[in-house]
Every structure is written in C-alpha cells, then in structure tokens.
Amino acid sequence: MIVSELFPGKNELEIEPSTSSVAAGQIWYPKISGARFNFVIHSVSREYQNSNSITNPIDRYFLKVIRSQSDLIITSGKTAIAESLNSSKFAPIAIITNHPDQLLIPATLEPSSNQVIVCSRTAPTITFQNSNVRFLQLHSQQITEVLDEVIQETGSSSPVIEVGLSTALELAREGYFVELCLSVVSAISLQAATASAEEFLANLELDVKLLQTLCCMDTYLFRFKALKRNH
C-alpha cells in the first residue's frame, strides 16, 4: 500500500500494515511534548462512536505509530469497554473510569508487557487476571484535573488521548490538546475528507493549523496543531 504525503511535502512510502515497522511511519508522526488526541471518523456516516466498526488496516498501522511516539495512552472506561481494548506493547495504558469492576476486557484479563493502569476514585473489588494491572486512586472530578493527576502520577510528558467526542469536547474547551490526529476513512476525495475533518473540528470548537495530510487509497490522515477555541 502506498502512503502519499499531500501536505506539506510530496513524499511517498510503501507500507504493509501487518508487517511494516512503526519506525517507517514515525517520519510523519514525531514525538511531541504535550497531549496528542487521536480519532477516526467515517467520511460518509460521520460516525463518531466505536472505531472498531470503521477503522481499517492503514488507520490501525498509524495508530501504532502514534502510540509508539507516546509514553502513555489515556482512554476512558466507556471507550475501553466499547472497543474491547487490548494492552499495547508501545506504552502503558491508563483507563479512567467510575466503574473499575466493569473493565473485564483483554487489557485487564490477558498478560501484558506494559502496565494497564485502572484510574478511579473507587477501588476495584475484583482482582484482574493481568498481573500487570495497577490501580491509581483519583481524587479529582473535573476531567482536565483528572488527566493532570494521571499524567503527574505516571510522569508522562507525551501522552496520546483516545476518548469519545463528549470527553474530547470538554478537553478541547480547556485547551488541553497540543495536537490532533484525525483519520478520515471511506472518503471519495481529498475534498470530501477535508469537509468531514472540518465538520469534526467544528464540533470540537477548535481553531487549528494544518500540519500534515497523508493519503492511502480512500483513507486520509490529518495532523493539526491546536491553536485556540472558536468563539
């Protein structure tokens, strides 16, 4: 599969999603300081929910690339359950939840090389089968304060945040994101993908600067620098 850079350069790279090293894709996703938000949407349905139903091999490959450039993956319990989340070989995963006993997912049930951190104000009453699960007691309630607490406790400096739209909106309003990575799948053209991306960004009420656009068949991958909230 050929991945073409449409902006700002004109580079091309042949990627085999199942076998190519993440190092190949890291030229387009450098490590950053601060929080990077990653999301995938369907160009036609504008589906903003479970990514498992719309993702494809090239999107999953670049998800691995992005995770490989992060020192912590942060998600919500709702997202983790909806997507039957697995642990990652690239970075620890922090799962923020009000209901830790409901996290009966591969990440907490199967062995992992990296920690899976269950973050909640309520301690779980069950023992997770994955011995690499750690519980982090939270004391904050407001989402940005919760993330600050998680990041401080883990010592993270370059987390990637993988949450749903409502949580992302709260974080965007508080200017939490440094960068947004958006995959648009099943787009018939760059124009269609751009329109879908612009609609999504409007929902987040963000001003952004386009850093990069990649294309592989009908999948377009955008990187944006977050500037400020629209008024």
Which domains does the chain possess?
Answer: 32-229 (3.40.430.10)
Q: Please, which residues bridge with residue 36 across strands?
A: 160, 179
Query: In whole angstroms, what is the distance from residue 133 CA to residue 224 CA?
Result: 33
Q: What is the mean pLDDT of the chain?
A: 93
Predicted TM-score (pTM) of the model is 0.94
Q: Please, which residues bridge with residue 5 across strands?
A: 214
Give residue-wise pLDDT tens across range 181-209: 999 999 999 999 999 999 999 988 889 99
Can you read off the two tokens belonging to residue 82?
A: 């909806």
Report the alpha-carbon angle 184-187-188, nearest 5.
Answer: 160
Query: In whole angstroms, what is the distance from residue 130 CA to residue 115 CA?
Result: 9
| pLDDT for residue 48 | 55
| Res. 45 pLDDT band, cuts 50 70 90 | confident
For the packed helices 190-204 and 165-173, what is the interaxial angle rounded to 10 degrees? 70
